[in-house]
């Protein structure tokens, strides 16, 4: 399976990815994450029933990205997601990660709806969510301060029904 649970052994490589300038530029946390901070983050999610975190493996079995489902509420059939491909990953890695993650969300976690937030200045992520079938549901105006300016946050949602209706076309693209 291209997704496997995130483990403590993954922490050094995931921290390096997370601290890369291209990942930090589109994240809520923009500072360099220390080893202690990263270990604390992992400890907080490891035993949290509302979080599922995975490493995405490419076709050769090489770790190539991270996906997490937070505020996972199986009783409500909902969650939020976050993800990033490894810096320098080959073209197409994001789509592979996205398809595997959405299959995980709807087929194995049993979600009815997946929610996302994207910084409005991250056009690549906005287009990616739209490619995967997410629909814009709202805008949190001037909701994130990047150290220099306030940035809007675009709210997205995708239902199980929408994913199933559009999955085949996305995989073919």
Tell me what the mean pLDDT of segment 138-151 comes to: 94
Q: What are the phi and psi torsion angles at 146 (to 5°)?
A: -90, 10
Total domains in the chain come to 1
Tokens of 75: 């009783």
| pLDDT tens for each residue of 72-121 | 999 999 999 999 899 989 888 999 999 999 999 999 999 999 999 999 99
Mode of pairing for the β-strands spanning 78-85 and 113-119? parallel
Determine the structural domain holding residue 117 and report its residue range: 3-172
| CATH number where 132 lies | 3.40.630.30
Is the sign of the CA dihedral 151, 143, 118, 145 positive or negative?
positive
Within a 10 A sphere around the Cβ of 48, how many other Cβ atoms? 12
Please answer whether residues 110 and 163 qualify as being in contact, where contact means their C-beta atoms are separated by less than 8 angstroms: no
Phi and psi (nearest 5°) for 103? -60, -40
Alpha helices, DSSP H, located in the chain: 11-18, 21-24, 35-46, 93-103, 123-131, 160-172
Radius of gyration of the chain (CA): 16
Looking at residue 103, what is its pLDDT? Answer: 97
CB 121 within 8 A of CB 148: no
What does the alpha-carbon distance between residue 83 and residue 94 come to, in Å, rounded to a whole number? 9
Q: What is the pTM of this model?
A: 0.91
CB 134 within 8 Å of CB 156: yes
For the chain, what is the mean pLDDT? 93
């Amino acid at each position: 399976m291209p997704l496997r649970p995130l483990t403590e052994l993954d922490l050094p490589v995931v921290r390096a990815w997370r601290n890369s300038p291209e990942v930090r530029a589109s994240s809520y946390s923009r500072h360099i994450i220390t080893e202690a901070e990263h270990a604390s983050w992992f400890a907080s999610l490891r035993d949290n029933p509302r979080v599922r975190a995975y490493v995405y493996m490419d076709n050769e079995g090489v770790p190539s990205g991270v996906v997490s489902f937070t505020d996972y509420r199986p009783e409500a059939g909902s969650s939020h997601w976050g993800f990033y491909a490894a810096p320098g990953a080959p073209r197409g890695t994001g789509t592979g990660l996205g398809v595997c993650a959405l299959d995980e969300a709807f087929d194995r976690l049993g979600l009815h709806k997946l929610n996302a937030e994207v910084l409005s200045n991250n056009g690549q992520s906005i287009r990616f969510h739209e490619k995967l079938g997410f629909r814009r549901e709202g805008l949190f105006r001037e909701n994130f301060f990047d150290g220099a300016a306030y940035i809007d946050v675009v709210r997205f949602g995708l239902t199980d029904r929408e994913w199933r209706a559009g999955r085949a076309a996305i995989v073919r693209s």
